[in-house]
Amino acid sequence: FNRVVFTNNTAGNGGAVFVASDMNSGNVTFYNCSFDANHATATGGRGGAAFVSSDGPAGVGFTLCTFKQNTATTGYGGAIYAEGGYVAVNECVIDGNAATGGGGATFR
């Protein structure tokens, strides 16, 4: 994903994006993307902007992205929630995100 804007999206988990992979999946990259005011709203919802889950070596990369005002209403990882796999966050701005369970910015 290159120069994509994700704004005002809502889902139970991963308000803007939900990335799940198994051992045979490739990598997903986000370059110069904006994640603003996205919300994970399920009870225990995870990843206001992004939910990342991997059972194998597949990875997700965020480079030069901004994460602002994203929320996990009753869960974890206001901006990014990650479980398993490889997650890289490079030269990103993470500002004003919130999660009531923990990890206002990120939770792994």
Q: What is the pTM of this model?
A: 0.92
pLDDT digits (tens, 9 = 90+) for 17-69: 999 877 566 789 999 999 999 999 999 999 999 999 887 777 899 999 999 99
Q: φ, ψ for residue 10 (rounded to 5)? A: -135, 135
Distance of CA 51 to the CA centre of its chain: 5
Q: DSSP letter string over 30-79?
A: EES-EEES-EE-STT-B-SSEEEEESSS-EEEEES-EEES-EETTSB-SS
- DSSP state, residue 28: E
